Structure formats: structure tokens, C-alpha cells
Structure 1
Amino acid sequence: MIWYTALVLAVGAERVAELVVGRRNLRWSLERGGVERGQGHYPPMVVLHTGLLFGALAEVRLGHRPFEAALGWTMLAVVLAAQALRWWCIRTLGPRWNTKVVIVPGLPLVTGGPYRWIRHPNYVAVVAEGLALPLVHGAWVTALVFTVLNAWLLTVRLRCENSALAPALALGDGGTRPADARP
């Protein structure tokens, strides 16, 4: 249980690092005319992601969940892969990456890194980590509850993000014109 607690705390520390990077990047975006969208879903997202960490620890401790090697090591590999994907997304987007939905008018869409293959790769990392982190130590209730609630929240988030990106996506040139320009 001690090593699992250390893992969950490490993921929590990573989330704090994301918030620091996101706050810095938010300033960068706002200085360039960035517009934030979908503020209403952000607080529930923070609560859900915080609940994942506390829920996993509580379920393992209170539910006396055993570590099952085959599942545990496999899920640990998924958690580590999710972290690698998340930081690849952050690095690829650079100062444009944020925990909030912020669009800076006039910037082209990012089509490099993992964005070559999928429009929202960071959410793949979120889904994988949300399922895998609790299952590292058998916390299947937390994995299930997080996955269901996260699926609902991601539909709201993706609708918001896709709406915010729609002007750039509608351009046939990959979004190289300002987002508010008319084709």
C-alpha cells in the first residue's frame, strides 16, 4: 500500500505541475487576445479528477483491495504511457496548452506530434489514466465511477472545445487564417 500511495501522490504532484504550466500558459494566451470558453464545466472537472486520487486511495485502504500482479503491472504500464502521452501533448502545444479551453485568434491549428493522428490526444491520456490508476491496486469501483462520470464530462468538454475550434476547422487550409476570419 505504501508504494501505491506514493504512486497516487506522484500523479497528484504531476497534476499540480499541470496547473502551474496551465496558469502560465493562460497568461500567455490572454496577453495575445485569447478567449476562454466553457468555464462552467471546469470546477466539476477539478472535483472529479481530485476525487479520482482520493477515491483510489480510500477504496484500496477501506476495501482491502489486494495487489494482483498481472493486472497491477499492466495498469501501471498504462498509467506511465498516459503520462508520456499527456506530456507529449503539452510539449507539442507549447504555450497554447492549457487545462482550460482558451482559443487565441489567428493562430493555426496544431497538427504535429500526437495531433497528427487524433484531434484530442490528451483526452485519450485522461481516459486511460482514469481507468488504469485505480486498477493498479484493484480499486475497480473508483475506476468505474470515474470512467462513467468522466465520459459524461468529456462529452461536455469536447462539445465546448470543438465549438471553440470550429472556425479554424472549417477553413480548408488547416486553420492558417485568423479564427475569426470569414472564408
Structure 2
Amino acid sequence: MTTTPDDAARAPAPDPTSPVAPGDVAAPERGLRVLARATDALRLHTPSGWRALRADLLDHARRVYRPSAPLRARHPGGEYVVAGDVLVARVRTALAAVPGVEVTAVRCTTDAQDRLDVLTVQIAVVFGTPVLAVADTVLDLTAPAVEGLLGPVGAAGPAPRVHVHVGDVTRARL
């Protein structure tokens, strides 16, 4: 049986699920069509409770225990190690009484020897609060909190840098 060009045009399209023959140049295109159809089918059949389950999974992942970074500290008797979370709590406590300010995040960055390199304090302030004065107050209260826990600043290396970041301004009282 011979085929004419008209017969080839009427021939059924190749089955995209059929196995790929070696040297088949249409295989990548066929594979992409199969993938697109499978993706569309999965999108149509997403379980109704998936969104709630997804949110629960993400919340759980955020709450999973993660040990905090160790921080080297020094006192007259020698060196010791403090968990970074302890310093974060100490800084939050020191800044809790500053009017018109809420600490939204405290991050510790250490050097290769686990010494505090950078302490970043992110705050929210009430609209109208003088930001530079608040930043000075945050710096003034943070230094003794760090020294009280880690020992004299700069005793075991360069003094850590403290950054104050105003991440939000709000109209509500904090």
C-alpha cells in the first residue's frame, strides 16, 4: 500500500504515551506534551483540604526546634559558650522598657571563632517618635546587655558591630 501526501495529513497523531524509539526526533516534543497534560490533570484534582494542610505544614516547619548558634564569651576565669538565643532574650529584655518601640527581631552573626561579629536589632516605632534618638537609646541599652553576658566588648577580638534597623512605623501605641 502506498500513501499519498493527503493520506499522511489524515494519519492519526502519534500516541504521546508510546515508548520512544531510538533516534525519534519528535520524542522531546511528545514528552513535553505528556508532562503538560499530566500537570493540568493534577491541577484540576488538587484535594480541597490541601491549602489548609499546606499552611499547617509550613507553620509546623517554622516551629521546629533549631538550636541557636554558639557565642564565645569571656570572663576573668576564661572562656565559655553561650547560646545565641540567650543573648537575643537579654537584648529584648533590655529594650522592653523603651517607650514607643517594639523589638521585632534580633539577629546574631558570628565570625569563624564563634565570636559575636554583628548584632542587628530590628524595631518598630510609633509614628512621630524621633528615630535617631530611639536608635541611640537602643545602642546605649544594647551595649551593657551584650557586655553583661559575653564579657568586656573587644576583650577576645574586635568589638561587635551593632546595627539598629527601623523596620516599621505604626500609628498604634506599642
TM over 0.5: no
Name the structure with the higher helix share: 1
Q: TM-score, normalised by structure 1?
A: 0.25
- Bigger relative CO (Cα 8 Å, ≥ 6 apart): 1
Q: TM-score, normalised by structure 2?
A: 0.26
